[in-house]
A and B are shown apart, each in its own frame.
Chain A
Amino acid sequence: MSETVLDVRDLEAGYEPGVPIVRGASITVRKSEIVVVLGPNGAGKSSFIKAIAGLVPITGGTVLLDGKDITAAPAHTMVRLGLAFVPQTENIFQLMSVEDNLKVACGILERREIPARIDEMYAAFPDLMRQRRTAAGNLSGGQRQMLAVARALIVHPKVLVLDEPSAGLSPKFVSMVFEMLAGIRKSGVTILLVEQNAKAALAIGDRAYVLVEGKDRHEGIASELWNDPVVAELYLGQRPSHASKGGVA
């Protein structure tokens, strides 16, 4: 068994005192794995990974990254600690150029390293290279997700955490995003992924957890989970599918 990168134990977190949203959730992510977190709407998936990333106050439990306790480290120190987070919405600086979006994320790097890192991202995402001077707000939905992911990868994080990267994208872009993630994992990056699009996520994932009411209720091998009756049960009889999310523009 390869080494553990991210280890979350009994995490409790919430936005307001006395109202826990995440209630004792535990997951483990090992090196170069894609781990998927599934769950019905409002299960607290976003809150869970936001708490890991230092964006929601944590009231209990621990988060270990490479064995180091990062529980409740301030959000702006997470990148330095090796955790890069891509939120679901508003995940790029719309008024800045594509290139500035990449540069602004390089705060922890030595100045002389930056040009090479940017070239590296342009090599991986040629679309971004072509649009480097464009204001990020003018990119297409798929390109925005690309930029958001590139922005997170540019610091070479130990783990990449993404919140529903396919939400709101047209089908063409959805498959593009999942291909992109599969490619990123091939290059050795560890990924923790929250998804509504269970089918596509399980197709590229190694293992998956089902989060219900702020707690991890089920764990399994990604490819087996799709046909697991327990999962369907946890989704309240619904088949987990992208359609349950409803059309989002």
Chain B
Amino acid sequence: MSLQFVIDGLLTGSMIGLGAIGVTLTYSILRFSNFAHGDFMAWGTYATLAVVSAIGATFGKVAPIAPLSFGWPLLVALVVGMAFTALLALLLDRVLFSRLRSQGQAIIVVMASFGASMALRSLLEFTFTSRPTYFSRAIQIAMPVGFGIRITPDQIALLLLTAVLVLGVHLLMTRTQTGRAMQALSQNAALARIVGIDVASVVRVTWIIGGALACVAGVMIGILVQIRPFMGFDMLLPMFAAAILGGIGSIPGAVLGGLIIGLAEAGAVQLIGAEWRAAVSFIILMAVLFVRPIGLFGVRER
């Protein structure tokens, strides 16, 4: 068995982990599993792609940054895409989720997110068709790094980006007043209001972080794999499994869960074949639910 699966697994795991952060935050703070989260990913990616094309149309062809396959337009577009996805999440909350939440219908919100997911995805299919597209068709040369492992510059850059983002979110959650307010709200919503936390503003921050990270995860998939309307929906099960494996509400848990599932998927692809990949997260999910439903870093069941 080649060790290449480690790199593949870490990359897949990064995408899953970044997505799972949003899932776990929504779950612990808004108390519902958001089936539209995968579609935030896809929408963010298409938004980024649109901005890249717009920049290309305005400034002509821009040379990529040295060893990478992409140049500054993608970086600019990513930031725009993150903002766009955050806004999309806020909008969906405003018109749909917050209204159902105020009626106290926890599980109805889940169903609404399922309906929203369907509509969002199909809207993408309508606009961009279901044909896959790419940020760049350039083929990158993978460099050998020993132990039979090869890695491309893009892959290195994206792994670093993931590490920076995860660290950033972790610091935000543990070191800032906003992060403490989020923790407080997820632990005890009534007490959070008593100590002066404005629930509405914390909810907004939650959507912004979740949406922005979903966009990054989607763009990673776009750079390393391909862009399709279903790209996010297919990530849903791994993301839920990662969030539950890590322990709902835990950011490090979501990321670690993502990496474990990514590695397991990559290993399974090598051993059994790519067609069974999607079953891996299901098996891990079932194992967690049977053995330790609170997950690795979970503290108690809510």
Q: Which residues does A use to contact B, with CB under 8 Å?
A: 53-55, 74-80, 85, 87, 90-96, 100, 103-108, 111, 151, 155
Contacts and interface: CB of A to CB of B under 8 A. Distances in A.
Given A93-B183, A95-B183, A96-B184, A107 B191 contact: no
B194 A104 contact: no
Given A76-B199, A90-B191, A95 B177 contact: no
Given A76-B199, A90-B188, 5 more contacts: A78-B194, A79-B194, A96-B184, A103-B177, A108-B196
B278 interface: no
A93 B196 contact: no
Contacts of A75: 193-194
Given A93-B183, A96-B180, A96-B183, A107 B197 contact: yes
Given A93-B187, A95-B187, A96-B183, A107 B196 contact: yes
Interface string B170-214: 000000010011011001101111111111000000000000000
A93 B188 contact: yes
Contacts of A55: 190, 193-194
Contacts of A79: 194-196
Contacts of B196: 76-80, 105, 107-108, 155
Closest 10 CB pairs of A and B: A79-B196, A75-B193, A104-B180, A105-B195, A76-B193, A107-B196, A93-B187, A104-B184, A76-B198, A85-B194
A182 to B, nearest CB: 24
Nearest to A94: B187
A77 B193 CA distance: 8
Contact of A107 (B181, B187, B188): B181
Give the secondary structure class of B's interface.
helix
Contacts of B198: 76
Contacts of A78: 194, 196
Contacts of B195: 79, 104-105, 107, 151
B192 to A, nearest CB: 8
A87 B193 contact: no
B89 to A, nearest CB: 22
A93 B197 contact: no
Contacts of A91: 191
Contacts of A74: 193
B197 A87 contact: no
Q: Choose among B184, B188, B192, B196 the residue with the greatest number of A CB atoms under 10 Å from its CB.
A: B196
A106 B177 contact: yes
Contacts of A53: 194
Nearest to B201: A76
Nearest to A148: B191
B283 interface: no
Contacts of B190: 55, 87, 90
A55 B194 CA distance: 8
A108 B191 CA distance: 16
Contacts of A90: 188, 190-191
B199 to A, nearest CB: 7
A113 to B, nearest CB: 12
A235 to B, nearest CB: 29
A111 to B, nearest CB: 8
Contacts of A85: 194
Contacts of A151: 195
